[in-house]
Amino acid sequence: MRTIVTASIALTLVVAAGGLCSAQVITHREPMEGQLRTGATVFVDDGTCGKGKIKLITATGGNGNERAGLPQRTRTCVARPLNAGPVID
């Protein structure tokens, strides 16, 4: 019984720590062309999307892994995520 309780507490701590570590980093400026891998996403808080929203950039190519017919990046305004991490310059 003691082993089950200890295992339950350990599992709870691991799950809680995993949630804290999943915060997405936010920047003030877009990364330069070619700095993002295909499929990578970045949140950019440069004030262009209005209050409560943030720009989500998804890289679709530009670093040698281009996908035919797609722009190198897609930019969309989305609601600011609740688990957003600190803003990094």
Question: Which carries the bigger pLDDT value, residue 10 or residue 34?
Answer: 34
* Amino acid in the structure at residue 70: L
> Average model confidence (pLDDT) for the chain?
74
86's CB contacts (< 8 A; 6+ apart) are 25, 26
Question: Which carries the bigger pLDDT value, residue 34 or residue 48?
Answer: 48
* pTM for the model: 0.60
What is the reported pLDDT for 20?
Answer: 45
CA distances to 10, 34, 54, 78, 85 from 82, in Å: 25, 29, 12, 12, 9
Q: What number is the average pLDDT over the span 28-43?
A: 83
Rounded to an integer, what is the distance from CA 57 to the centroid of its chain? 9
| Predicted confidence band of residue 89 (pLDDT cuts 50, 70, 90) | low
Give 61-78 pLDDT, tens digit per residue. 665 556 566 667 888 999
